Structure formats: structure tokens, C-alpha cells
């Protein structure tokens, strides 16, 4: 089994991440408090006892508005969620970040060069 689990999910207008399976992978229960920050264009969430953000009663993760704005996320945008089991961290990658990260790979398989 891989140390990282992945899911692709939409973010709604309130910041709710539709996919709950990734939260279950990390064993985050409703009420789990999370420190949620932007780092290098991605969103990083990790448990923190003194945090103000939390998993809601239905098991959903909600991304704060400020973090969504810093990452350029709008309602309906999708994010690649990566649950890193060993550290208990969730990373949400906006698709624009993935485009940049994968540009060289895509160029190589197309036979061209990245711009």
C-alpha cells in the first residue's frame, strides 16, 4: 500500500471539499481541529489542537476563504487531494499548480520541450 492516498474533488462556494474518503484515510473524525495554510500555491492541512478550522459533522473538510483566494480557487474548481498517512497531513493541489509541475513531463511524452 502506498504511503499517500489520492482523490480528485470539487470545492463548492463555501469551501467544502466534496470528497470525504480522503478525510477517512487520515482517520480525521468530525470535530478534528485543523491548521490550514497556503504554501507554494498548495493548501496544507494538519491536525492542531488549538486550530479554528475543523472537520464538520458530516465529515467534510472546509477550506477557508483566504486560503482559497491565495490559491486562486473559485467555486467548482477541482483539487488533487493527497493524504500523507505517515505524517497525517493533507495537501490540496489546485489544477493550475499541477499543470506547472507536470509541464516538463507532458512536453517529454509529446516529444517537444516545455516552454
Query: In this structure, what C-alpha cell is assigned to residue 13?
Result: 462556494
d(CA 113, CA 115): 6
Q: 46-68, pLDDT tens digit by residue? A: 999 999 999 999 999 999 999 99
The separation between CA 49 and the C-alpha centre of its own chain, rounded to angstroms, equals: 20
Q: How many domains does the chain have?
A: 1
In a domain, 115, yes or no: no
Mean pLDDT over each residue of the chain, to the nearest integer: 93
Q: What is the model's pLDDT at position 115?
A: 54
Residue-wise pLDDT tens digits, 93-107: 999 888 888 888 888
Single out the residue of 92, 104, 103, 114 nearest to residue 41, CA to CA: 92
End-to-end CA distance of the chain: 36
CATH number for position 72: 3.40.1550.20
Give domain status of residue 11, yes or no.
yes
- Grouping H, G, I as helix, E, B as strand and the rest as coil, residue 24 is helix
Looking up cell 478534528, which residue turns up? 32
User: What share of the chain in percent tops pLDDT 90?
Assistant: 79
Q: Domain residues for 69?
A: 4-110
Answer yes or no: is pLDDT of 32 > 60: yes
pLDDT per residue as tens digits for the range 76-94: 999 999 999 999 999 999 9
Amino acid at each position: 500500500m502506498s504511503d499517500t492516498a489520492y482523490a480528485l474533488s470539487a470545492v463548492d462556494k463555501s469551501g467544502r471539499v466534496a470528497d470525504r474518503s480522503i478525510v477517512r484515510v487520515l482517520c480525521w473524525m468530525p470535530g478534528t481541529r485543523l491548521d490550514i495554510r497556503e504554501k507554494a500555491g498548495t493548501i496544507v492541512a494538519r491536525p492542531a489542537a488549538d486550530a479554528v478550522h475543523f472537520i464538520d459533522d458530516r465529515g467534510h473538510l472546509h477550506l477557508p476563504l483566504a486560503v482559497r483566494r491565495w490559491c486562486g480557487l473559485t467555486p467548482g474548481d477541482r483539487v488533487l487531494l493527497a493524504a500523507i498517512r505517515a505524517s497525517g497531513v493533507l495537501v490540496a493541489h489546485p489544477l493550475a499548480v499541477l499543470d506547472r509541475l507536470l509541464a516538463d513531463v507532458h512536453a517529454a511524452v509529446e516529444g517537444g520541450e516545455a516552454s
